[in-house]
Amino acid sequence: MADVSDTPPSKEGTPVLPPKETPDLPPKETPDLPQDAGKSDEKAEGGSEAASDPSMYRYIKNDLFTSEIFKVEIRNLPKFIGFNDLKKFLSKHGLNPHKIKLFGKQTFAFVTFKNEEERDKAMKMVHGVQWKGQVLSVRLAKPKADPILRKRRQDEGEGAGGQPPSKRAEGKEEEEEEALSVQIANVVTPLWNVPYEEQLKRKEQQVVGVLQTLAKEIGSTNKAMLPWLFAQKGKYNRMCCPLEAIRPSPTLTEYRNKCEFLISMGANGEDKTIGFRLGKYKGGSCAVVGPADTSHVSAEAKRVVSQFQKFIRTTAYSMYSPETYEGHWKQLTVRTTRTKQAMAVAFFNPQKLEEEEITALKSSMRDYFTDGEGKDSGVTSLYFVREGQRTSPNLEDLPCELVSGESSIHEELLGLKFRISPHSFFQVNTGAAEVLYSAVGEWAQLDQDSTVLDVCCGTGTIGISLAKRVKKVIGIEMCQEAVEDAKVNAKLNGLSNVEFHCGKAEDVFPNILNALVSPNITAIVDPPRAGLHSKVVLAIRRAEHLKRLVYVACNAKAAMNNFIDLCRAPSNRVHGAPFRPVRAMAVDLFPQTMHVEMLLLLERVDYTSQQQPATAPRKKRHLSRRKQALSLTLCTLYQYSEQPGNIHFNSLCEADSS
């Protein structure tokens, strides 16, 4: 589904994401157990009914990118391997898979690649290779069936006659349907009828759960922290650190500055409707409902949608159908600012149209929004994207053609100015982002000697908002356009102590960190939903001069592995003293939905010596073997400094041996 806004969208900084469920981009595969777990691929994923119906594979015959074409099945895998094990194994053989799908405890996996060359290389490199005593075999695998067609077929089989565009109240076939405005509110703003205080409580509770889990995880991955952890859990309701009161969003409605709408058949039967999808593509529904009654979309964005809908209805071009892959109009992304600017990005599949026809369409679009009926829509920046031209998985490869107006929009935040280009990430709730960034600034404990590393910096918002308080800001970001924005933003705000580097954090961050000699470094990381690449976490762990880390997580559960790795005991893989969580807080950027941002401050454990206390070995002789083992573990790992909340390590050993 496109950004229906029940997600903290585009955390990846890819505002032009096309709908996830369209067959040209099959749903992201995770190591989770899929429904069809256990079935081998004799007939292709999706079951036998799919295999007998060639229409279910129509999507791979288009010119679009889909890694489903470059898919293999690896068999005879060792038992109990996980997603990461397989990923590492493939990477060790120089392979870079696009997707990996494992099936619980089964010994086979489906792996897709970005092109034929990589797929063939995988077949050559992996076939016959021995891994943990198992000789692997690799063979070509058929693609997955189009989920919507599969669902339709299933429904037909069940006699349901296909899924109706809108949902009926469960078990009450005869009763009237719920109003579409209620149905769509339930999808995009599922908490719309829950009082805000209650929403905040639920979100806070989510974060409590995360911190309690983290406490358990730290306990099992860093035994030396047990005494400290024991005290923390006792004080803070089984959490690893105190949780401060959740900070609410300053605005509860119309707070979104960016929405991604789909263009499809309206659930009310109206053709070429721009709105949010009512159900999931794989649930068998493509119908959309306009945003007019949706509480989190701004009036400005609604105006743009309404004008754009009028415009596309005047054109001869139909809406794009993800079922038949025919048609043209696909998606509209709208961004608005407090400065009353608006960017509209229209996604259009050119199919086999001639270049002249596209040029004529773009010019009629320009006329409509500059001199025609759309003149008062507020659009200051109008873009056109040829969606069907995507031949690579990189969304940034989709060129945005400026049709009229400015190439970017400008937002004001914390009294500063920010340029935003179409591909650049910007927090979707500007008011709440101010609350978030202010908290980051408070927690980072900065002074004029500080160097701030702003990792995954987008347009530079966090670093730029802190720059006047510190000696230097270094931002790292992989989206080229966002980095260009960030550089311009530094100038716009008269700053000369900031620099921005373009690249994946996992590639550039370790070198930047190693080159820094300043003893006063604070890192602020604000990664996409999946969290930081483990290389970044390992680099942070190694850089012992980096003492403080503020982690901004839009999906705290997904960031859990990062938190654990930051806190786990040193090992062959993880070098450098661990961090420990010091304080946490939730900030609500997404009212009416269950999503929330979490802020976690972590500080490096300060231990001065790893030597065993001189008295310990002698005393150990009198201990039981179990106690000896525990005592040794504790003694040889760290000696905590005597800070509030720490138990001094010597006294722990003595207590244990008495």
Q: Give residues in contact with ligand SAM (CB under 6 A).
A: 11-13, 425-427, 456-458, 461-462, 476-479, 482, 504-506, 526-528, 533, 554
DSSP class of residue 30 equals -
Nearest to 87 by CA among 31, 140, 137: 31
Nearer to ligand SAM by Cβ, of 501 and 541: the residue is: 501
Nearer to ligand SAM, 56 or 550 (CB): 550
Cβ closer to ligand SAM: 249 or 309?
Answer: 249
130 in a known ligand binding site: no
Measured distance CA(74)–CA(507) in Å, rounded:
29
Which H or E run includes 277?
Answer: strand 273-277
Smallest separation (angstroms) from ligand SAM to the CB of 203: 18
Query: Least distance from C-beta 10 to ligand SAM, angstroms?
Result: 8
As measured in angstroms, the least distance from the Cβ of 123 to ligand SAM is 28
Q: Got the DSSP string for 413-438? A: ETTEEEEE-TT----S-HHHHHHHHH
DSSP 291: G
Contact 505, 478 (CB under 8 A): yes
- Sort strands 381-386 and 342-348 into parallel, antiparallel or unpaired: parallel
Cα distance between residue 129 and residue 268, in whole Å: 56
Q: Residue 13 or 591: which CB sits closer to ligand SAM? A: 13
Residue placing its CB nearer to ligand SAM in the complex, 505 or 653: 505
427 annotated to a ligand binding site? yes
- Least gap, CB of 368 to ligand SAM (angstroms): 32
Cα dihedral 622, 627, 632, 638 sign: negative
Is the distance from CB of 18 to CB of 2 less than 8 angstroms? yes
Q: Which residue has the tokens 């949706």?
A: 294
Q: Which residues pair with 404 in a beta bridge?
A: 382
C-alpha 63/C-alpha 443 separation (Å) is 50
Q: Nearer Cβ to ligand SAM, position 289 or 602?
A: 602
Q: Could you give the 3-state DSSP secondary structure of residue 148? A: helix
C-beta closer to ligand SAM: residue 148 or 456:
456
The CB-of-585 to ligand SAM minimum distance in angstroms stands at 16
Q: How far is the CB of 380 from ligand SAM (least distance, A)?
A: 21
Alpha carbon distance 25, 525 (integer Å) = 29
Q: Which amino acid is at 67?
A: S
> Collapsing DSSP states into helix, strand and coil, what is residue 235?
helix
- The CB-of-7 to ligand SAM minimum distance in angstroms stands at 12
* Shortest Cβ 507–ligand SAM spacing (Å): 8
Cα angle 625-627-633, degrees, rounded to a multiple of 5: 105
Closest-CB residue for ligand SAM? 13
* Nearest approach, Cβ of residue 229 and ligand SAM (Å): 29
Chain centroid to CA 351: 31
- Helix (H) or strand (E) holding 583, with range, is strand 579-587
Position 5, amino acid: S
Catalytic residue among 554, 567, 635, 653: 554
Nearer to ligand SAM, 421 or 520 (CB): 421
CB 443 within 8 A of CB 602: no
3-state secondary structure of 153: helix
Sign of the torsion formed by the C-alpha atoms of 489, 495, 496 and 501: negative
What is the spatial distance between Cα 638 and Cα 239, in angstroms, rounded to a whole number? 22
Pair 479, 423: CB distance under 8 Å? yes
Residue 173 marked ligand-binding: no
554 in catalytic set: yes
Q: What angle do CA 211, 217, 222 make, to 5 degrees?
A: 120
Question: Phi-psi region for residue 588, left (φ > 0), alpha (ψ -120 to 50) or beta?
Answer: beta
Tokens of 627: 């106690």
Annotated binding site for S-adenosyl-L-methionine: 427, 477, 526
| Binding-site entries | 427, 477, 526
Annotated catalytic sites, by residue? 554
